[in-house]
Amino acid sequence: MSVGPLSQKLFATAKNLIPGGVNSPVRAFRNVGGEPFFVRRAKGSRIEDVDGKHYIDYIGSWGPNILGHAPTVITNTLHEVAKDGISFGIPNPFEVEMARTIVDWVPSVEKVRMCNSGTEATMSAIRLARGFTGRDLIVKFNGCYHGHSDSLLVAAGSGALTHGEPDSAGVPADFAKNTLVLPYNDDEALEALFTERGDRIAAIIVESYPANAGLVLPKPGYLDLLCSITRTYGALLIFDEVMTGFRLGKAGVQGIEGIKPDLSCFGKVIGGGLPVGAFGGRADIMDLLAPIGPVYQAGTLSGNPLAMAAGLAQLRELDKPAGFARLEQLGAHFESGLRALMQEKGIPHRLNRVGSMFCLFFTDREIVNVDDVMQQDLELFKKLFWGCLDKGIYLAPSPYETGFLSLAHTEADLDDTLSVINDVLSTL
Ligand SMILES: *Cc1c(COP(=O)(O)O)cnc(C)c1O
């Protein structure tokens, strides 16, 4: 299976100029054994590639495009705001409105600092947690991806997992030794580690719902345990809601689960498709940041007016009655159709779905953590991926990524997709 001739030609050129031909590894399609298509334009739920082929998109730029591609509210906002300047390096009113919105929507966040990517958000939150506690160790979970800063590229998911290199070359062993990795959903391992070294641990960082190695859900009580154990030992709990924040509701997973983490990280949806990240939480912790505190953190383009305005326009749409509730409706529609289809085909599978996020696993193992995710039938996934792509359905080019619905998707899109999946599975 392959993509069109113009995409092939561009990729051949790109490979001579850009390492692997891409600016982020998962885009290279290596995990499905092929080459990527190049996009020419995208609108709503659809992408058109440079060869003129159309696809219904289930990635949405890996999460940010929750209203669909190029929504008029955002493109209009960008036109208007850009006329008055693109970047100032001086405070602008949009930053204050963005901070107000995040603080209003997310109860655990009393103060927030904007940055330019999810990676910056988690990297800075870790530094802040270390500065606040005066401790060096951090705890993360096997398969959780928190961007590509040195401390966090240990047993990470997403692109790192896809390429079978959970640990990156170039991360000094001296850094990595301060990152302790635990299996997710394992109470005993967590308790044992804290009993042994809890007084030296600065923070636990966790993907609020791990979604970069499939979509894995916490066992009942697990998030409460993370909360209570950090409190007991004077460590901080950092929720990485870069993917789930403002996608699964106004207060993300912490809103759904009733958890109050000390610090939270955001990105993706709050940027409306522009490069944005944010981290926030308890004011007494956040006030340790420069310029009023000793923990340094900065950014030339942080709080960029276009990014803030685009993000705000997106959040305002989500806050309407046809926002999160509609996403849940679409998610439920897709889930029930997909469940019925898989049952009818008799293919062993698991399906995890929350709101507009979904992940289908070709295994009958219960999905407790990344070890279960790794056990699935990868050949079957590849066949489904290419079969769907051929018929104009773009699913994530990796079995370890979560699928995303947007407000631009319709029931008709979802039904068309289910019928393509049905056709593809029937021919296998
Ligand atoms: C995408 C993602 C990141 C990294 O964000 P970037 O903007 O790609 O740097 C961090 N954490 C989670 C949970 C993510 O999904």
59 and 10 in a common domain: yes
Catalytic residue among 240, 262, 372, 413: 240
pLDDT digits over 50-72, tens only? 999 999 999 999 999 999 999 99
Provide the 10 A C-beta neighbour count for residue 76: 11
What range does the domain containing 137 cover?
72-318
Number of domain units in the chain: 2
- The answer to whether residue 145 is catalytic is yes
Q: Would residue 240 show up in a list of annotated catalytic residues for this protein?
A: yes
Cα(120)–Cα(277) distance, rounded to whole angstroms? 7
pLDDT of residue 112 exceeding 80, the answer is yes
Whether ligand 1 lies within 6 angstroms of the CB of 207 is answered as yes
* Residue 44 Ramachandran class (φ > 0 left, ψ -120 to 50 alpha, else beta): left
90 and 63 fall within a common domain: no
Give the model's confidence band at 176: pLDDT under 50 very low, under 70 low, under 90 confident, else very high.
Answer: confident
Whether 78 and 213 map to the same domain: the answer is yes
Cβ of 119 closer than 6 Å to ligand 1, yes or no, is yes
Domain match, 265 and 381 both: no
For residue 101, the one-letter residue type is: T
The Cα–Cα gap between 379 and 371 comes to 17
390 and 383 in contact (C-beta within 8 Å)?
Answer: no
Please check whether residues 284 and 135 belong to one and the same domain: yes
Give residue 271's pLDDT: 98
- Nearest residue (by CA) to ligand 1, atom 10, is 146
pLDDT mean over 350-376: 94
Residue 175: C-alpha distances to residues 123, 180, 305, 370 (Å)? 13, 11, 35, 23
- Going by alpha carbons, the residue nearest to atom 11 of ligand 1 is 146
| pLDDT, tens only, 73-110 | 999 999 999 999 999 999 999 999 999 999 999 999 99
Angle at alpha carbon of residue 198, lines to 192 and 200, rounded to 5°? 140
Separation between Cα atoms, residue 278 and residue 112, nearest integer Å: 7
pLDDT of residue 153: 85
State residue 378 phi and psi, 5-degree precision: -70, -30
Enter the pTM of the model. 0.96
Is the same domain home to 351 and 306? no
175-179, 201-205, 383-387 — which is least confidently predicted? 175-179
Which parts of 355-426 are beta strand (E)? 357-361, 393-394, 403-404
49 is catalytic: no
Q: In this predicted structure, what is the pLDDT of residue 29?
A: 93
154 and 30: one domain?
no
For residue 282, name the pLDDT band (cuts at 50, 70, 90). very high
User: In the predicted model, what is the mean pLDDT of the chain?
Assistant: 95
Same domain, yes or no, for 356 and 413?
Answer: yes
Which amino acid is residue 293, in one-letter code? G
Q: Are 239 and 254 in contact (CB under 8 A)?
A: yes
- Active-site entry in 49, 55, 140, 145: 145
Both tokens assigned to 89: 């390096």
CATH number of the domain that residue 114 is part of: 3.40.640.10
pLDDT of residue 160: 57
Q: Which of 318, 338, 362 is the last residue of a domain?
A: 318
Domain boundary pick from 291, 318, 345: 318
Decide if pLDDT at 241 tops 90: yes
240 lines ligand 1 (CB under 6 A): yes
DSSP assignment string, 75-116:
HHHHHHHHHT-S--SS--HHHHHHHHHHHHH-TT-SEEEEES
Percent of the chain scoring above 70 in pLDDT = 97
Written as six digits, the tokens of 145 are: 């991806």
- Last residue within a domain, chosen from 318, 338, 365: 318
Q: Are residue 198 and residue 345 in the same domain, yes or no?
A: no
Task: For residue 277, give the ligand 1 atom closest to its CA.
Answer: 7
Same domain? 250 vs 313? yes
Quick check: helix, strand or coil at residue 71? coil
Are 166 and 300 members of one domain?
Answer: yes
Q: On the CB side of 89, how many CA atoms lie within 13 Å of its CA? A: 2
Based on the fold, state whether residues 197 and 279 are members of the same structural domain: yes
pLDDT of residue 167: 66
In this predicted model, what pLDDT tens digit does every residue of 22-58 receive, in sequence order?
999 999 999 899 999 999 999 999 999 999 999 999 9
CATH code assigned at 401: 3.90.1150.10
